[in-house]
């Protein structure tokens, strides 16, 4: 049952990305092109997503369990804004600006057969693998 609801949520999310234009790199790059032919339409998408997300987090924060009976696992505010967070955010922004994709929309575009999405997803997976490798290496050196 949980897998069915997870698949349904993913389907709704993917459809939302398609309808909003977030899976179209040209639309995203038009939004990011502040000095050129700026397309502000994605700002409305983001504002709507922030509103819905804020409402969802507010309601979820009042519940000890999810609607499917799982324990609630909401993010905490204990994570400091540090060098790693800022560097990761900057890398995400640069990648988004160059490719016009971020992780969710890239998977939707990959499912639609977009060749650029394949390159982006492969690069994203490589970046994730490099990060994991460096994290493990750092943990081993701290233990030694």
pLDDT in tens, 8-18: 999 998 998 88
Distance CA 26, CA 88 (A): 24
pTM above 0.95, yes or no: no
- Report the chain's C-alpha Rg in angstroms: 18
Average pLDDT of the segment spanning 94-111: 90
pLDDT in tens, 107-141: 999 999 999 999 999 999 999 999 999 999 988 88
State the CB neighbour count (10 A cutoff) for residue 99.
Answer: 19
């Amino acid at each position: 049952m949980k897998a069915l609801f997870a698949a349904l949520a993913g389907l709704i999310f993917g459809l939302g990305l398609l309808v909003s234009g977030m899976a179209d790199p040209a639309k995203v790059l038009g939004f990011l092109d502040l000095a050129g032919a700026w397309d502000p339409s994605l700002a409305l998408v983001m504002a709507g997503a922030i509103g819905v997300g804020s409402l969802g987090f507010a309601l979820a924060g009042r519940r000890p369990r999810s609607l499917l009976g799982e324990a609630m696992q909401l993010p905490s505010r204990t994570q400091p804004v540090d060098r790693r967070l800022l560097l990761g955010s900057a890398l995400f922004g640069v990648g988004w600006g160059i490719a016009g994709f971020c992780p969710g929309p890239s998977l939707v575009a990959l499912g639609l057969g977009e060749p650029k999405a394949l390159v982006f997803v492969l690069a994203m997976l490589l970046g994730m693998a490099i990060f994991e490798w460096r994290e493990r290496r750092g943990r081993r050196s701290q233990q030694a």
